[in-house]
Amino acid sequence: MPASAPKMGSDHSFSLHEAPDLDYSLKNELSGSAVQVLEEDKFLAFANLQQLWDDPEWSQLFKTLKTDTTQVDLRESWFKIEPFESKQYASFCKWVDRLVTLISELKQPSPRAVSFLAMGAKLLSTTPGYADENEVDGASTSIKPDAVCVLEREADGFESWSQVLVPIEFKKKPGSLLAQKAFGTFAESSWSSSSPSTSERSRTRAKEGDPQAEKGKHSNINIPHRIPSRASPAATPPSPSSPSAYKPTRGDIQLARYAMETLAAVGDRTHVFGLAVNRPEVTLWYFDRCGAIRSQPLNFQDPQGQGFLNFVKFLSALVYMEDDALGFNPFFATSTGTRRVGMRKDLCDISIKISEPGDASLTLKQLLVRRADLMDRATLVYKVQLWHQGEGTGVPVDAVFKSSWQHVQRTSEYDILQKLYTHSEASQHVVEMFYGSEGPTVSSQRGGFGEPKPEVVDDRALRYTVAEYLSPILELSEPFHIPHIGWSVVQAIKFLKGAGWFHRDISVGNIGFQLVSGCQGVIVKLLDFDLSKEIGSSSKAPHWTGTLPFMSIELLQFGEGVYKRGWVHKLGFEVEALMWTLLWIVRVYVDGKEERDGREHPLTDWFFDYRTLTNVANTKKAYLEGLNGFTNNWYRELEPDFKHLARTWKKMREAQDDERFYTENTTLVSDSMYGDEGFQKIETWMEDWHWNVPKRSCTCTTHCARL
């Protein structure tokens, strides 16, 4: 039994949701144990500047700062503005800029020049998701933070979340139009979007235990296209009577949204700080992949008080602390020993040394996958040039670099694939892994707050891997490719079972192919083993299995109850995920692309009502009842195959239902469907329908042809 409720998820998910839905996700992520509250002095310990603050020079600076007439006048101007008025944003920023100017006069090396900006009417485009080497269409919109802290040299040309150091949210008047806009209730005013006509995949992850919610069908309507994250199991709200329950405010949720954008914009941030302003108080926030930490409110009503002093200390941290303390990952540093003087827009063309000892290095070239999540894996994937002997030595090869925040209890993808590659046939079925390394954990980073071993629920580690590059499976788009893909993945599932592993996330995005040089044939392989599990091992991490549209009906139907019933992952869950993946491809894609001409997604019910997983399960059951229409015109010649495949799976389900009836066990998972016997039935079906023989062979006649 895991420490928290199970969750289903993957890097590839498919639904499109409104702004309030994102608020729902972030509210869950901030609820309960996901937010820790610290006293101000402990919160400020992250800056590692106590020696500076103990110096007599600091005492003298603070004395001068308190009586600086410009600072005093600007502060009074801000305080004269009515509470909750938006015009206070600019006044606050002018005051804080003056404080920063005074703080920067300390004789300290390499001060970071920062500036505070009120956004006014300026909108910032949200960070689009990437999947299958392309930006997800319709996945970006525009939102407006109240204010931001940026590097001073970025202020004049400020236009992107990639330039934000610290997002700032001001408290809105309860019940006001401004507050409702900030919370997403009046999305048409605070968001800018239009209904997309192509791919609508987002990074929504299905979480079991969500309250039931009826979702209307949407077509040809304007809704905000934001990529929400799903609530982490660590953030599952406790009962209302629990003393540890934290109820985030609208402002907290809005600030979390801005932090999510700041983290996602480039991908080189491990954490981000935020400010929540509610005059005469300000709360310091820290966001990472396991939740958030906030300070007790700092009250600067009294310029002589401790609250004002601690706020000035926080500003000094922005000026003097090291890049890694501010949240910039040193793994992606292009220079050492100096504080950041400029901001990146992306990670393309930076070079990284990746092996110790050794000379291997890589250069990031093309963004392939990006998840714009807050509390999640935050997977980032780049196509790279890999130099095994060091840059400039030999010939570089195409490879894939991935960074991902994985639960520390989970076996790393690198270790899994190293074990699998002790088997000689592994190269025919699964991606090859070249290098792997472990970055910081959330708990190690939170140690900067003064606790050497802070307790973090569902702790995560930042893991890096470098693997062979596999082309997206959707590039094998001809009808003759589909049976070969199906047969190849079934053989990969069989290989993994023999090696003692389940993949647990078979989906469109987790299948790729290698082009065989010389004969122009293809080898289809499984990739992305982040959620994989050794057969017979206990579930040590809260993620369980799957990408929503491709998940087994059983997992959707019984949800969290599978743990209570003592279920373990079944071989047939892998096969069923493959079946739904193939059914998805032949119904949704035309020559490798979604082409719907503005029409509603043909399989929207497989993912849209994601809060009520039993509804998705019932939709899939009904889909198996169909008499025709399993393929679109592009794959029309495969209609008999998929009609028969769906009928075969339906009959297997009916046989399982009979077993449940006669055994009076309504949750029985039969071996005849989900065990070795069920696997053999599907493998035999593929042989009977000649899926085991390429319909078009390569020049060496061994492989399926690329074209």
Encode pLDDT of 567-624 as tens digits: 788 999 999 999 999 999 999 999 999 877 656 778 888 877 666 788 889 999 999 9
563 pLDDT above the threshold of 70: no
Q: Which of 438-452, 554-568, 634-648 has the lowest mean pLDDT?
A: 554-568
Per-residue pLDDT of 254-275, as tens digits, reads 999 999 999 999 999 999 999 9
Higher pLDDT among residues 93 and 31, named by residue = 93
CA distance 654 to 651: 5
In this prediction, residue 456 carries a pLDDT of 87
- What does the alpha-carbon distance between residue 515 and residue 249 come to, in Å, rounded to a whole number? 52
Show Cβ contacts of residue 59 under 8 Å, excluding neighbours closer than 6 positions: none
Q: What pLDDT was estimated at residue 175?
A: 60
Could you tell me the residue ranges of all domains in the chain?
A: 19-207+219-330, 348-469, 471-707
Mean pLDDT of 417-446: 96
What are the tens digits of pLDDT across the range 63-102? 999 999 999 999 999 999 998 889 999 999 999 999 999 9
Of 605 and 427, which is predicted with more confidence? 427
**Could you tell me the end-to-end alpha-carbon distance of the chain, in angstroms, rounded to an integer?**
48
* 630 contacts: CB under 8 Å, gap ≥ 6: 583, 586, 587, 639, 642, 643, 646
Which pLDDT score is estimated for 341?
A: 63
Residue 314's pLDDT band, with cuts at 50, 70 and 90, is very high
Residue 145: band (very low, low, confident or very high) from pLDDT cuts 50, 70, 90: very high
Confidence of residue 115 (pLDDT cuts 50, 70, 90): very high
Closest alpha carbon to 669 in 578, 572, 536: 572
Question: pLDDT at residue 667 above 90?
Answer: no
Alpha helix segments (H runs only) across 346-450: 413-420, 442-446
Cis peptide before 248 (omega within 30 of 0): no
Q: What is 471-707's CATH topology?
A: Transferase(Phosphotransferase); domain 1 (1.10.510)
What are the pLDDT digits (tens) for 192-213?
222 222 233 333 333 333 333 3
Is residue 239 exposed (0-12), middle (13-18) or buried (19+ Cβ within 10 Å)? exposed
> Looking at the predicted structure, is the pLDDT value of residue 358 above 90?
no
- The pLDDT value given to residue 188: 27
Q: Is the pLDDT of residue 560 over 60?
A: no
- Say what the pLDDT of residue 576 is: 97
Q: Report the pLDDT value the prediction gives residue 598, as an integer from 0 to 100.
A: 59
What's the CATH fold of domain 348-469? Phosphorylase Kinase; domain 1 (3.30.200)
